[in-house]
Amino acid sequence: MAETATTNTTAAPRPAQRNSNDRRGGGRPGGRPNSNAPREEKQFEELVVNIDRVARVVKGGRRFRFKALVVVGDKKGKVGVGVSKGQDVQVAITKATDVAKKHLISIPVVNGTIPHDVEIKLGGARVLLKPAAPGTGIIAGGVVRSIIGVTGINNLLSKSLGSTNKVNIAYATIEALSSLVPKEEWLHNSEAKTSTKKPAPKLNSDTKTESVAKKETK
């Protein structure tokens, strides 16, 4: 009988499993970041109000650039406006944002609205702001609404008069907001005004008789 030769088959070794924790950046070896990583919240909200293309005439022709108007606010009573130019739109927006963050102002907010009426005229633009009751909302349009939307004010009445230049309206709105006086300082300001008023001079009896004599002679 012929002996049947038996062949021993050995299984190929399995590749070692990679540990998911050994991957760089918590993702693939290619470097994709982990989507579960916590993201940093922005402190300020940036809003691009307007972008214009401006030209400057030089000897060789015209040089075109872009001018950006950006509003920055934290919705907690701080707001700023910046205007800047750049060769590219993104460059102009970045520069305008930096300018706005350097010129932030604080606004007194009382029950979601401003403490009193204010009207400011700057250049050809004139802006009127009035407080409103809860539930009214922001009654404004254009640039004024964009600025008020990032301040934290929920109820406001406004009217833009005069020029329609967006830059002038933006600066007039910021000037109006910066001129607001908190309610706690109203009494202090009124007392200071009354103390600075000079009392009327008192007339003696001799001066009174002299004035009466002069009127009689006339």
Q: Give the CATH number, domain containing residue 100.
A: 3.30.160.20
* Domain membership flag for residue 141: yes
- CA angle 202/206/210 to nearest 5° reads 105
pLDDT band at 101 (very low <50, low <70, confident <90, very high): very high
Number of domains in the chain: 2
CATH number reported for the structural domain that contains residue 167 in this entry: 3.30.230.10
pLDDT band with cut points at 50, 70 and 90 for residue 135? very high
Q: What is residue 80's predicted lDDT score, i.e. its pLDDT?
A: 94
Residues 151, 73: contact at Cβ < 8 Å? yes
Alpha carbon distance 154, 43 (integer Å): 19
Say if residue 125 is in the same domain as residue 175: yes
pLDDT more than 90, % of the chain: 50
Range from 58-62, 82-86, 210-214 carrying the lowest mean pLDDT: 210-214
To the nearest 10°, report the CA torsion of 103, 150, 93, 141. Answer: -110
Q: How far apart are CA 40 and CA 10, in angstroms?
A: 54
133 occurs within a structural domain: yes
Domain membership of residue 198 (yes or no) is no
Element (H, E) at 161: strand 156-162
pLDDT tier, 20 (very low <50, low <70, confident <90, very high otherwise): very low
Query: Is there a domain that residue 123 lies in?
Result: yes
- Predicted confidence band of residue 91 (pLDDT cuts 50, 70, 90): very high
**Residues 69 and 92 occupy one common structural domain:** yes
The pLDDT score that the predictor gives to residue 40 is 53
List pLDDT tens digits, range 137-173: 999 988 999 999 999 899 999 999 888 899 999 999 9
The contacts found for 24-28 with CB under 8 angstroms, 24 or more apart, are none
CA distance 23 to 32: 10
141 and 102 co-located in one domain = no
Residue 175's domain comprises 118-182
Farthest CA pair distance, the chain: 169
pTM for this prediction = 0.67
